[in-house]
Amino acid sequence: MNIDPQKALEDKVERLKRDLKALTTRIENSETEAAQQHLGVTNQIRDTTRKITKTDDRVSELAESVHRLERLLIALNRKVRAGNTGKADFDSWPEVGDEQLARIAKGQEAYARRKFTPQEAKLARKAVAEYDRQALEAVEAAEALTHLPPTAESLWRKNYRQWTAITTKVRPELPEGDTQASDSAAKSAGNTAIAEVRRHIRARIEDAVARDLLFPAWFENMLGPAAPPGRADDWLYTATDVVLYRLLHKVTSPADALGPAPREDGHRKTLFDRLTAECAEHRGA
């Protein structure tokens, strides 16, 4: 032991420096090792991610190949069956008249008609009465045009403006209360007509299934070549509505069952979206 306090303190400082240096070296080594481990894990994650991506791409390619193969098999099946099997006719419907389709369309319009609140009904009746008053005055002004003297130019212009103003307006919609009776009759007639037409359509589809007839291309494209196992009734219900949609909206495409998607919201768009979703489910089952 050094008896010189100054020397002893310097020795202690030197030892602490050596210990600190050793500790610093250990920390640096640990950090280097940790960085190397982190880099190794990162590289492993990147490799795994690349492998997963390649696997996903391969699965997608296989799925597309399977889908193409399914379509080819369906097409081949159609060609084989076409030579030996009768064809179902879902485009000609002599038993379904234009009058029935018109009643269905009118009933759908009645169901889709906007409902009025009591306050809206009051304002609507007031607007209709005002429109009718202006229309009557405009008609009288137009009739007076033929009797005005040539010198009454300002009066002629006034009457003419009054007439042209009403021709650019549309008579406001009456509240439901004022059309309730006619709407109720239209709904009832539409319901009766749609039930009759659906019976005709379903019977013909069931007959085609029972006789194993070849379905039209647009039918198979939309609903598949057959009913999914265990879901024949749901499939028939959807198939009936698909044919009814074509009849109601005059769709004649040999490949596209429903034609272009409706742009405006309403009963037709709602039905189009429902049938599209149901048919996709049937094809994927």
Last residue of a domain, one of 174, 204, 222: 174
Distance CA 195, CA 197 (A): 6
Residue 102 sits in the same domain as residue 217:
yes
In a domain, 102, yes or no: yes
Phi-psi region of 259 (alpha: psi -120 to 50; beta: other; left: phi over 0): left
Examine residue 10 and state whether it is found in any structural domain, yes or no: no
Residue 272: pLDDT over 80: yes
Separation of alpha carbons 214 and 223, rounded Å: 13
% helix / strand / coil in the chain, to the nearest 5?
Answer: 75, 0, 25
Choose one of 174, 195, 212: the last residue of a domain.
Answer: 174
**Domain final residue pick, 126, 143, 174:** 174
Verify that 140 and 261 share a domain, yes or no.
Answer: no
How is residue 124 written in tokens? 């609507």
Helices and strands, number each (H, E), in the chain: 8, 0
Residues 110 and 130 in one domain: no
The total number of structural domains in the chain stands at 2
| More confidently predicted of 218 and 164 | 218
Asked whether residue 240 falls in the same domain as residue 282, the answer is yes
Q: What is the mean pLDDT of residues 92-109?
A: 89
Percent of the chain at pLDDT > 70 equals 81
Per-residue pLDDT of 5-28, as tens digits, reads 666 667 777 777 787 777 788 787
Parent domain of 91: 87-114+185-285
Residues 193 and 102 in one domain: yes
pLDDT digits (tens, 9 = 90+) for 104-134: 988 888 777 666 666 767 777 788 888 888 8
Is there a single domain that holds both residue 203 and residue 282?
yes
